[in-house]
Amino acid sequence: MVPRRAQLLEFAVLGLLHEGPTHGYDLRRRLNEALGPFRALSYGTLYPALKTLLGRGLIAEAPDPGRRGKRPRVVYELTAAGKEHFADLVARADSSAYEDDAFDVRFAFFARTESEVRLRILEGRRGRLEDDLERVRERAVRSRERLDSYTAALQQHGEERAEREVRWLTELIDAERRHPTDPGPQP
Amino acid sequence: MVPRRAQLLEFAVLGLLHEGPTHGYDLRRRLNEALGPFRALSYGTLYPALKTLLGRGLIAEAPDPGRRGKRPRVVYELTAAGKEHFADLVARADSSAYEDDAFDVRFAFFARTESEVRLRILEGRRGRLEDDLERVRERAVRSRERLDSYTAALQQHGEERAEREVRWLTELIDAERRHPTDPGPQP
DNA sequence: TTCGTCATGTAATGGGTTACATGATTAC
DNA sequence: GTAATCATGTAACCCATTACATGACGAA
């Protein structure tokens, strides 16, 4: 099951609020900076999403710590239900955790993910990339002659990038197996 | 100006038809295989797009060469206006040619692109990636300490990938400068 | 005969950016 | 003072996938 983009955003927002209460403008900035799937996230997407989470009781308005004389902002924090929901989501390691965009988001919160789950996500991602690689290679064999040099160069470059990514994941997996450190309690 | 996805699709369709007349089903298959931005292109997008191109007189229905006894398919070919329009699009080397998805599509038709234009597109793309890289590095310096090891690993991996891509482009640019081969007449 | 692929579409649905609207605060 | 950034939203528009509808053909 490929996760809807809205679910990804929900996960990311809960994850960021898990690190501490904050307001919409700051969430957007941090989501944009994370330069994953949310590089171009707009207020038109974020604010309604926050409203939905509010309506579902996963987040709640918190008092703005206040900055002398400045207009208070709308600060959100996780509710108990929100923390629980996020914990459930983090524990998942099915395909919704390692497909394309989803992997980037899940990886960003690996520090809050249990070692075992991390391992399964990394392995799932690696398997996914290996499948892609196999498909590309098959196609390369089938069409070797009738490719112009540019298409051939692009294909080879794509292959090398995927191979490199697989090696990177393998390193992470090996490291994870050697030192399976679980997340401690949040500070 | 970032090209709308529809414009990218239009470009790709005209480019494929430039190689010879064909029908919608085949276009979709080839667009999907090209595994760029059209990996998941659906009929719901392609067929209406073909209708639009038809309405604008850039493509026209051509007789199906026919396959004994089989139902004829709806085959399209470029019109004179379509060829001209494609030539105009191919000659462009502004940001609409090297931003993300656009670059993949433009690269796929490099064999039909003049050497000078190819060079400017490659250089534009490289510049774009170098800007990205600089931004990422700045951010890395600003936030070095407060990153957990996973975020740090992801950031470093992203940096390495971008560096590799820049080197790849540099190689292509150098090769292009040494042997600026222009496209011959199509067979 | 049933399943996969070929083949062409349309409609509904979902979802995201752009643009609009508004106002406070800060830096130059 | 004025431009940029902070800050919070809403509405319109664009557009792409999903699902639906339909049917022929080839292989197992």
The model's pLDDT over A11-53, given as tens digits with 9 standing for 90+, comes to 999 999 999 999 999 999 999 987 788 988 999 999 999 999 9
Which fold is adopted by the domain B5-110? Arc Repressor Mutant, subunit A (1.10.10)
| pLDDT for res A11 | 95
Question: Is a pLDDT exceeding 80 seen at residue B134?
Answer: yes
Report how far residue A59's alpha carbon sits from residue A77's, in angstroms, rounded to the nearest whole number.
Answer: 6
CATH code assigned to A5-108: 1.10.10.10
Nearest-neighbour CA in chain B from A150: distance (Å): 7
**Chain A partners within 8 Å of B150 (Cβ):** 107-108, 110-111
Nearest-neighbour CA in chain B from A85: distance (Å): 23
Question: Is a pLDDT exceeding 70 seen at residue A3?
Answer: no
Asked if strand C contacts B4 at the CB level, meaning under 7 A, the answer is no
Report how far residue A3's alpha carbon sits from residue A16's, in angstroms, rounded to the nearest whole number.
Answer: 19
Domain ranges of chain B: 5-110, 114-178
Between B18 and B33, the more confident residue is B18
Q: Does B153 touch chain A (CB under 8 A)?
A: yes
Q: Mean pLDDT over all residues of chain B?
A: 89
What pTM value is reported for the model?
A: 0.90
- The mean-pLDDT minimum among A5-9, A166-170, B21-25, B148-152 falls in B148-152
Q: What mean pLDDT comes out for the span B11-38?
A: 92
Question: Is a pLDDT exceeding 80 seen at residue B144?
Answer: no
Residue A147 and residue A53 in contact, taking contact as beta carbons nearer than 8 Å: no
Query: pLDDT tens digit string along A90-128?
Result: 999 988 899 888 999 999 999 999 999 999 999 999 999
Kind plus residue range of the DSSP H or E element containing A138:
helix A115-142
Report how far residue B177's alpha carbon sits from residue B171's, in angstroms, rounded to the nearest whole number.
Answer: 10
- The mean-pLDDT minimum among A33-47, B57-71, B131-145 falls in B131-145
Question: Is a pLDDT exceeding 60 seen at residue A1?
Answer: no
Q: Does B40 touch chain A (CB under 8 A)?
A: no
User: A133, A147, A132, A156: which is closest to B168 by C-alpha?
Assistant: A156
User: B123, B73, B74, B81: which is closest to B98 by C-alpha?
Assistant: B123
Percent pLDDT > 70 in chain A is 91
| pLDDT for res A34 | 78
Q: Which nucleotide is nearest to A47 (CA to C1')?
A: D9
| pLDDT for res A144 | 66
Q: Does B172 touch chain A (CB under 8 A)?
A: yes
| pLDDT for res B137 | 86
Beta bridge partners, A78, equal A59
